[in-house]
Chains A and B, each alone.
Chain A
Amino acid sequence: AQKITQTQPGMFVQEKEAVTLDCTYDTSDQSYGLFWYKQPSSGEMIFLIYQGSYDEQNATEGRYSLNFQKARKSANLVISASQLGDSAMYFCAMRAFQGAQKLVFGQGTRLTINP
């Protein structure tokens, strides 16, 4: 079974600071993908970044980067130069290449950016 753990229910950060959102995972699968999604107060789910389990380089997408440490089974999201619009709920998720290929989500971290 797969499990995602996000240990930070809420985080408060000053605008323009960098922020790291923690994510650890547990799986017996060898091949899997790790995803981060953003959910603003309007409710939609916005895809941010993807990391494959066999990717050697950490993924980056603009201000988002994924700090992937496979041995530690962690996939932390780093947001550089935070903006007020980054205030939202953030979900870490994983998807195995075998079987149902469902997305397994963590509980989420609510990020608040203060001006």
Chain B
Amino acid sequence: EAQVTQNPRYLITVTGKKLTVTCSQNMNHEYMSWYRQDPGLGLRQIYYSMNVEVTDKGDVPEGYKVSRKEKRNFPLILESPSPNQTSLYFCASSPWGANHEQYFGPGTRLTVT
């Protein structure tokens, strides 16, 4: 089954404790992206990757890091989480090209206290 998986699905953590949210896709997609969803703001892009070892900032990259060492995996790293990073996070992937839908993972609900 073609899918994007994210782990964990839910996470409660404390300020400053490093965490990683994993993302994996099995569709051999070149393009992967991370979004955060906040009420009234829709989804905003954090980082994206056009292929292995090629990543770039989206609209809200502060406080986040990513890496793309393998085509299927695109982890999101919060080195020192803060309460303003409490949000719902989505990983997405697609073939390269704006005529393609992005396939979304199930989401990770993160709470930073």
User: Chain A residues in contact with chain B, CB under 8 A?
Assistant: 4, 31-33, 35, 37, 43-45, 47, 50, 52, 91, 93, 95-97, 100-108
Contact = CB atoms under 8 A, between A and B. Distances in A.
Interface string B82-99: 000000101010001111
A68 to B, nearest CB: 14
Contacts of B65: none
A96 B104 contact: no
Interface residues of B, number: 28
Interface in B51-101: 56, 58-59, 88, 90, 92, 96-101
A35 B101 contact: yes
Given A95-B98, A100-B56, A43 B88 contact: yes
A47 B92 CA distance: 12
A100 B48 contact: yes
B41 interface: yes
Nearest to A47: B101
Nearest to B9: A43
A101 B59 CA distance: 12
Contact of B33 (A35, A50, A103, A107): A103
A37 B104 CA distance: 10
